[in-house]
Amino acid sequence: MNLNYNNLLKINPFSLNSNIKDKIYLKYQRALFKHHFKHCKEFKKISKFLFTKPNKLTKIVDYPYLHVSLFKKFNLFTKYNTDETKTYTSSGTSGNLSKISLDRKTSLLQSSALRKIFSNLIKNRDSQILFVESTKILEKDKKFSARGAAINGFCQLVDKHYFLLDENKKLKLDYLKDILRKNKKKNLIIFGFTSDIWTYLLRNSNKRNLNLKFKNTILIHGGGWKKLENQSVGRKNFNKLVKKNLGISKTVNYYGMIEQTGSIYLECEKGFFHCSIFSDVFIRDNNLKILSNKKEGIIQTLSLLPLSYPGHNILTEDQGIIHGVDDCKCGKLGKYFSLTKRVIGTEKRGCSDVD
Whether 109 maps to a domain, the answer reads: yes
In eight-state DSSP terms, residue 90 is: E
Report the 3 state secondary structure along 138-203. Answer: HCCCCCCEHHHHHHHHHHCCCCEEEECECCCCCECHHHHHHHHHHCCCCCEEEEEEHHHHHHHHHH
10-residue mean pLDDT series, the chain (355 residues): 87 94 94 96 94 88 95 91 85 66 91 88 82 85 69 82 93 89 85 88 65 77 71 77 85 90 89 95 97 97 96 96 97 95 65 36
Whether 274 maps to a domain, the answer reads: yes
Whether 349 maps to a domain, the answer reads: no
Return the pLDDT at 349. Answer: 46
Return the pLDDT at 351. Answer: 41
Report the distance separating Cα 97 and Cα 232, nearest Å. Answer: 29
Report the distance separating Cα 290 and Cα 286, nearest Å. Answer: 10
Return the pLDDT at 65. Answer: 96
Whether 348 maps to a domain, the answer reads: no
Return the pLDDT at 159. Answer: 82
Whether 354 maps to a domain, the answer reads: no
Q: How many domains does the chain have?
A: 1
Q: Residue 271 maps to which CATH number? A: 3.40.50.12780
Report the distance separating Cα 321 and Cα 331, nearest Å. Answer: 19
Give residue 67's domain range.
5-342
91 closest CA partner among 38, 140, 147, 137: 147
Whether 352 maps to a domain, the answer reads: no
Return the pLDDT at 144. Answer: 67
Return the pLDDT at 213. Answer: 67
261 closest CA partner among 157, 147, 132: 147
Return the pLDDT at 53. Answer: 87
* pTM of this structure: 0.89
Return the pLDDT at 130. Answer: 93
What 3-state class would DSSP assign to 205?
helix
Whether 347 maps to a domain, the answer reads: no
Whether 80 maps to a domain, the answer reads: yes
Return the pLDDT at 95. Answer: 56
Report the distance separating Cα 229 and Cα 245, nearest Å. Answer: 21
Q: How far is CA 210 from the centre of its chain?
A: 31
Return the pLDDT at 296. Answer: 98
